[in-house]
Amino acid sequence: MKCTPAVLAAALLVAGCSSDNNDLPDLGPSVTMSPPAANTGVPDTAKLMAALLTESELPVGFGALVDPSIETSAAQPSPTKNESPTDPPECSAVLEQIADVSPGATGRALGRFQGTDFSSIDIDAASYSPSAVAGAFAHVQDLFAKCTEYSGKDGDGVKISFTLGSLDRPKSGDSSVSIRMLTESEGVTLTSDVVVMVVGTTIVQFAATGTSPIAPQVLTDLVDKQASKIRDIK
């Protein structure tokens, strides 16, 4: 499920379940990473696409969604970039593809999967030069820090509120930051648990969304499996 106001609003209104507690821990300090060695390989789009988790590697019930942006050239922005208004405007980029949030990617890849009960898993990856990946990772974290609370509207003008907080879980890849995003409209809430990790010169964003949080161990297993596949790229 794409985390844009219009799509989330539709799911929220149909899901009809509300959260008992919308309190989230504050985001922690930014995670600083050391740049990889100058001779570290930089995967292209084809290699990144081949390394993304597939439907058969996800929990039972998840099916792949066809999305034209998965074939977007690394030099071009995604055609599905969120155009919905948000307040503040820059927060419309939260959970957009890493290559769109931090320009300059050499390769990019995207996989989207729909499950039951309005659950979804979105995985995107972007590769950068060894000298640029640390800055790209920092930029994503800066966006999260600026957008801990923001709002948008659906096509009918119904307000949707977004809240970001820290997600306590083990480090993934070479460096990582984990957040939980709550998306609320008219008393109904969806939860997105998000891991942004660096593996070599590649940044991966893994987002699991549903009417209740994904099981922590399931999230860790999936993220670790994705990290291994990126690290094994030849």
- pLDDT of 80 > 70? The answer is no
- Residue 11's pLDDT band, with cuts at 50, 70 and 90, is low
- Residue 73's pLDDT band, with cuts at 50, 70 and 90, is very low
Determine whether domain 5-17+46-231 maps to CATH 3.40.50.150: no
Torsion of CA 100, 51, 200, 171, to 10 degrees: 90
Contact 200, 231 (CB under 8 A): yes
- pLDDT of 44 > 50? The answer is yes
pLDDT tens, position by position, 121-155:
999 999 999 999 999 999 999 999 999 999 998 87
Cβ neighbours around 159 below 10 Å, total: 14
pLDDT tens, position by position, 203-212:
999 999 999 9
- pLDDT of 101 > 50? The answer is yes
Contact 195, 178 (CB under 8 A): yes
Find residue 159's DSSP bridge partners.
Answer: 153
The amino acid that residue 187 corresponds to is G
How far is it, in rounded angstroms, from Cα 202 to Cα 97? 13
pLDDT tens, position by position, 154-190:
878 889 999 999 999 999 999 999 999 999 998 889 9
The amino acid that residue 15 corresponds to is A
- Residue 1's pLDDT band, with cuts at 50, 70 and 90, is very low
pTM of the full structure: 0.86
The amino acid that residue 106 corresponds to is T
The residues, any chain, with a CB within 8 Å of residue 130's CB and separated by 6 or more, are 35, 36, 37, 38, 39, 40, 42, 201
**Domain ranges for the chain:** 5-17+46-231
Q: Are strands 202-210 and 159-166 parallel, antiparallel or unpaired?
A: unpaired
Q: How far is CA 195 from the centre of its chain?
A: 7
Closest CA to 143 of 86, 224, 219: 86
How far is it, in rounded angstroms, from Cα 167 to Cα 179? 5
